[in-house]
Chain A
Amino acid sequence: MREVAIVGIGVTEFGEKWETSFRNLFVEAGAKALEDANMGGDQIDEMFVGNMSAGRFVLQEHIGALIADYAGLVGNHIPATRTEAACASGGLAFRQAYTTVASGLNDIVIAGGVEKMTDVGGSETTDALAGAADREWEGLVGATFPGLYAMIATDYMNRYGLTREQLAMVSVKNHANGAKNPIAQYKKEITVEDVLRSTLVADPLRLLDCSPVTDGAAAVILCPMEMAREFTDTPIKVLASTQACDTISLHDRRDFSTLDATVAAGKRAFAQARLTPKDIGMVEVHDCFTIAELCAIEDIGFCAKGEAGKLTEDGQTALGGSIPVNTSGGLKSCGHPVGATGIKQVAEIVAQLRGEAGARQVDAEIGMTHNVGGTGATVVTNILGV
Chain B
Amino acid sequence: MSVPRYWRKQQNRYRLKGTHCETCGKYFFPPRNLCPTCRRDGKIVDYEFKGDGKVRTFSIIRTASEDYDLQTPFVIAIVELEEGTCLTAHVVCAPEEVYIGMPVKKVFRKIIADGESGVIVYGTKFVPA
Contacts and interface: CB of A to CB of B under 8 A. Distances in A.
B86 interface: yes
B100 A158 contact: yes
Interface stretch (A148-156, A223-231, A304-312): A148-156
B57 A256 contact: yes
A142 B62 contact: no
Say which size band chain A's interface belongs to. Answer: 35 or more
A139 B63 contact: no
Contacts of B100: 154-155, 158
A199 interface: yes
B27 interface: no
B62 to A, nearest CB: 5
A317 B15 CA distance: 48
A150 B63 CA distance: 12
Nearest to B28: A252
Say which size band chain B's interface belongs to. Answer: 20 to 34
B69 A123 contact: yes
A202 to B, nearest CB: 5
Nearest to A129: B65
Interface string A133-144: 010111111111
A204 B58 CA distance: 10
A158 B59 CA distance: 13
A252 B37 CA distance: 13
A140 B1 contact: yes
Contact of A123 (B56, B59, B65, B95): B65
B86 A151 contact: no
A306 B104 CA distance: 28
Contacts of B1: 140
B88 interface: yes
A146 B88 CA distance: 14
Contacts of A62: none
Interface in A103-129: 123-124, 126-127
Main secondary structure of the interface of A (DSSP, over half): helix
Contacts of A141: 76, 88-90, 111, 123
A103 to B, nearest CB: 30
A126 B58 contact: no
Given A137-B88, A256-B78, A203 B59 contact: yes
B66 interface: yes
A252 B89 contact: no
Contacts of B67: 142
Contact of B58 (A136, A142, A154): A154
Contacts of B74: 142
A200 interface: yes
A130 interface: yes
Contacts of A201: 62-63
Given A127-B65, A142-B76, A202 B71 contact: no
Given A151-B76, A202-B59, A142 B87 contact: no
Contact of A155 (B56, B89, B95): B56
Contact of A137 (B76, B77, B87): B87
A123 B57 CA distance: 25
- Give the residue among A123, A150, A251 with the most B Cβ atoms within 10 A: A251
Given A136-B30, A151-B78, A251 B88 contact: yes
Interface in A34-79: none
A146 B95 CA distance: 17
A151 B88 CA distance: 10
A144 B78 contact: no
A137 B30 contact: yes
Interface in A238-264: 249-252, 256
Contacts of B59: 147, 150-151, 153-154, 202-205
Contacts of A204: 59
B88 A144 contact: no
B88 A249 contact: yes
A199 B88 contact: no
Given A203-B62, A250-B88, 6 more contacts: A141-B76, A142-B67, A142-B74, A151-B78, A203-B59, A203-B95
Nearest first, the 5 A-B pairs at minimum CB distance are: A150-B59, A155-B57, A251-B86, A203-B60, A137-B30
5 contacts: A136-B9, A142-B65, A142-B90, A142-B111, A203-B95
